[in-house]
């Protein structure tokens, strides 16, 4: 729309050419029309000016203006003295098609005398119209509409009237052309402004750092993100151009960056650069800049437009990942075991030097090869099956127990290996870390130790046998009773038994059930008369020896005087754990069905041995009972003492 400042000033009327001098009112009407059309700002200004001119110049009191609409149908846009019914009846009626050229005006002095359809004639006559004229309105050489004059009587149009009508139509046509063009331009300008504003807002608020430079690299524009980054005030281009961005570049990066940017400007070529810049808070951030040259409508170089991306965190994360990977690699390398990492397909991805040495392969021979290369041929299929079975399980699996397997070296020889297998969940999927230890040496050492232990046991037993032999000879001459000799042999035998059992467990712990079974097993004939029951309880060697000796004494006494001295007596041996602090263990020996018991007159070696062993060695509390119905022995001791070596 033209602004107030550009409103056109009135002009003097042009002198019409090639026409006889007009009557003053006609001239005045044409002059006024020209002036009003010149000032018209909207189509309705044009229409009312035209209608005024038509009425004044052509001496009619009814007139109308019609234009083709977008669909090409002639529609009323302005009128005087016409009924709604009439306009509706003749709406869309046109003697010409849109754009037709050159259209000729039609002057009808009496509608009744024309070839028009009866329908049209009826509509016209009912509006009390007899004479009328169709004057085409032309813009850009083609018909765009018409204006009409109406008379309630037959009207013969004079040459002068026709000339005036055509003159008015031409003026109106020009004016319509101009206002339509003005409107179109205004609409286009507004659309462009809207588009530019949207684009500007988008640029300003984009979640990226966007800038524009002049041909020398000086700042023309920084968007909000970038202004915030550098702390540049929000006062637009002036603020930006006063800002020297090059001063924020890290001194170490500046020479290279400026050279590259200078080169891109000189070559007017796209470029990508990376550098550290100091932000408003004084921190250095790593920005990657993608820049493109800018060119004007006529192709002149205007400068550069660029986007900066802050990659500080990304680079930090990448560096941390690299360091983490490097640490992991170093840890694997430094591990004392052979380390072999394989992926879910069983392909080896990493090995350490120990693994190279262990298997006799070079690193490059292992990485990329199948893990089954290290498995002896007969076990390969089973290994692959097991591996795939594990891969199928998505949940994490901690392989607690190490497995002993046979591994194969490059030269085909094999060695026993202990393998600790751990899953590693990495970004690329699950990996398996196998820590491989050659246990040949350990196996040899174990065998050696077992041999020594067996030999030691043999010698101890032999020594006990020698002691037995000496005692045998000694007692024989010294007049000891056969009972005394038997008691001695029995005790020596119990000691040897406990010793034997502890050898079987490599002198670690022995279960009480087994200790009791061995100690009471000598009474083979009475086995079904002895009931042993109690929870699993492990005894340390010293406790096992003590319990064995004590049970032997009780058993010997039972055979000689107690429940096993007749045919019906029974022995019940049971133990239980008693909750408490400290937790205690309670063992009970109970004889029943033997001959009536009489308490011994004096305390024998047997009961002394029982009390000493159980009370002193095991910190226990011992009760020996000599009730008439059978001997009983109850002992309680802290559980912890039993397991102490």
Given the rule CB under 8 A, which residues bind other proteins? 454, 457-462, 464-470, 472-473, 476, 486, 489-490, 492-493, 496-497, 500, 503-504
How far, in Å, CA of 110 to CA of 129, rounded? 9
Answer yes or no: are the C-beta atoms of 590 and 572 closer than 8 Å.
yes
Phi, psi of 164 (to 5 degrees): -65, -45
* Nearest distance from C-beta of residue 488 to other proteins, angstroms: 10
Measured on CA atoms in the order 373, 375, 380, 385, is the torsion positive or negative?
negative
* Nearest distance from C-beta of residue 486 to other proteins, angstroms: 7
* Nearest distance from C-beta of residue 529 to other proteins, angstroms: 18
* Nearest distance from C-beta of residue 504 to other proteins, angstroms: 6
* Nearest distance from C-beta of residue 559 to other proteins, angstroms: 11
* 198: CB partners within 8 A, 6+ apart: none
Pick 358 or 487: Cβ nearer other proteins: 487
Strand-strand pairing, 429-438 and 414-426: antiparallel
Pick 257 or 502: Cβ nearer other proteins: 502
Our CA angle for 342, 367, 412, nearest 5°, is 95
Pick 518 or 591: Cβ nearer other proteins: 518
* Nearest distance from C-beta of residue 532 to other proteins, angstroms: 21
* Nearest distance from C-beta of residue 444 to other proteins, angstroms: 17
Pick 220 or 471: Cβ nearer other proteins: 471
Pick 440 or 462: Cβ nearer other proteins: 462
Question: Per the omega criterion (within 30 degrees of 0), is the bond before 582 cis?
Answer: yes
DSSP letter at 370 equals B
How far, in Å, CA of 262 to CA of 521, rounded? 101
Pick 245 or 475: Cβ nearer other proteins: 475
Pick 44 or 473: Cβ nearer other proteins: 473
Pick 314 or 472: Cβ nearer other proteins: 472
Answer yes or no: are the C-beta atoms of 195 and 61 closer than 8 Å.
no
Answer yes or no: are the C-beta atoms of 230 and 279 closer than 8 Å.
yes
How far, in Å, CA of 219 to CA of 298, rounded? 22
DSSP letter at 146 equals E
* Nearest distance from C-beta of residue 503 to other proteins, angstroms: 7
Pick 120 or 464: Cβ nearer other proteins: 464
For every residue of 235-301, DSSP letters joined together read SHHHHHHT--GGGGB-TTTHHHHHHHHHHHHHHT--EEEEEEEE-TTS-EEEEEEEEEEEE-TTS-E
How far, in Å, CA of 12 to CA of 44, rounded? 23
Pick 402 or 489: Cβ nearer other proteins: 489
Q: What count of residues does the chain have?
A: 645
* Nearest distance from C-beta of residue 632 to other proteins, angstroms: 27
* Nearest distance from C-beta of residue 533 to other proteins, angstroms: 25
The token pair at 307 is 């986007």
**159-205 and 43-58 are packed helices; what angle lies between their axes, rounded to 10 degrees?**
170
How far, in Å, CA of 565 to CA of 630, rounded? 12
């Amino acid at each position: 729309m033209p602004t107030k400042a550009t409103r056109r000033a009135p002009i003097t009327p042009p002198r019409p050419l090639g026409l006889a001098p007009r009557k003053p009112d006609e001239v005045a009407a044409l002059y006024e029309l020209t002036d009003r059309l010149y000032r018209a700002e909207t189509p309705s200004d044009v229409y009312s000016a035209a209608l005024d001119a038509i009425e004044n110049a052509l001496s009619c009191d009814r007139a109308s203006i019609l234009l083709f609409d977008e669909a090409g149908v002639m529609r009323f846009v302005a009128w005087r003295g016409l009924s709604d019914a009439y306009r509706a009846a003749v709406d869309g009626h046109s003697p010409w098609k849109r754009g037709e050229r050159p259209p000729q005006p039609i002057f009808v002095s009496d509608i009744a005398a024309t070839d028009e359809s009866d329908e049209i004639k009826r509509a016209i006559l009912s509006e009390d119209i007899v004479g009328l004229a169709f004057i085409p309105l032309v813009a850009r050489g083609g018909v765009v509409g018409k204006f009409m004059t109406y008379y309630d009587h037959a009207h013969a149009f004079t040459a002068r009237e026709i000339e005036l009508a055509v003159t008015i139509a031409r003026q109106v046509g020009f004016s319509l052309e101009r206002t339509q063009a003005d409107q179109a331009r205004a609409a286009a300008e507004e659309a462009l402004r809207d588009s530019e504003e949207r684009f500007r807002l988008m640029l300003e608020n984009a979640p990226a750092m966007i800038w524009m430079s002049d041909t020398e690299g000086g700042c023309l524009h920084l968007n909000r993100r970038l202004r915030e980054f550098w702390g540049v005030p929000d006062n637009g281009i002036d603020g930006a151009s006063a800002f020297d961005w090059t001063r924020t570049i890290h001194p170490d990066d500046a020479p290279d960056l400026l050279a590259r940017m200078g080169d891109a400007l000189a070559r007017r070529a796209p470029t990508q650069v990376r550098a550290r810049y100091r932000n408003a808070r004084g921190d250095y951030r790593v920005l990657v800049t993608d820049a493109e040259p800018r060119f004007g409508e006529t192709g002149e170089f205007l400068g550069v437009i660029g986007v900066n991306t802050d990659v500080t965190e990304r680079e930090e994360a990448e560096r941390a990942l690299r360091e983490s990977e490097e640490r992991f690699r170093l840890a694997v390398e430094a591990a004392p075991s052979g380390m072999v990492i394989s992926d879910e397909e069983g392909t080896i991805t990493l090995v350490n030097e120990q693994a190279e040495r262990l298997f006799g392969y070079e690193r490059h021979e292992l990485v990329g090869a199948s893990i089954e290369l290290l498995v002896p041929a007969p076990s390969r299929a089973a290994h692959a099956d097991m591996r795939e079975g594990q891969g199928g399980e998505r949940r994490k699996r901690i392989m607690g127990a190490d497995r002993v397997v046979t591994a194969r070296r490059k030269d085909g020889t094999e060695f026993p290996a202990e393998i600790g297998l751990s899953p590693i969940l990495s970004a690329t999927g699950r990996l398996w870390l196998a820590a491989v230890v050659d246990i040949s040496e350990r196996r040899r050492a174990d065998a050696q130790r077992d041999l020594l232990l067996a030999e030691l046991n043999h010698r101890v037993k032999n020594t006990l046998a020698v002691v037995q032999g000496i005692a045998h000879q000694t007692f024989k001459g010294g007049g000891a009773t056969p009972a005394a000799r038997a008691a001695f042999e029995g005790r020596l035998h119990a000691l040897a038994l406990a010793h034997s059992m502890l050898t079987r467990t490599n002198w670690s712990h022995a279960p009480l059930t087994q200790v009791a079974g061995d100690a009471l097993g000598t009474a083979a004939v009475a086995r079904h008369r002895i009931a042993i029951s109690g929870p699993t309880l492990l005894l340390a060697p010293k406790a096992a020896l003590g319990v064995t000796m004590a049970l032997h004494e009780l058993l010997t006494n039972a055979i000689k005087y107690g429940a096993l001295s007749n045919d019906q007596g029974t022995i019940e041996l049971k133990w239980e754990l008693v909750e408490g602090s400290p937790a205690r263990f309670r063992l009970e020996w109970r004889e029943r069905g033997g001959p009536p018991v009489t308490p011994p007159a004096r305390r024998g070696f047997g009961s002394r041995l029982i009390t000493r062993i159980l009370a002193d060695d095991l910190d226990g509390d011992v009760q020996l009972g000599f009730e008439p119905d059978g001997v009983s022995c109850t002992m309680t001791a802290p559980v912890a003492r039993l397991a102490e070596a």
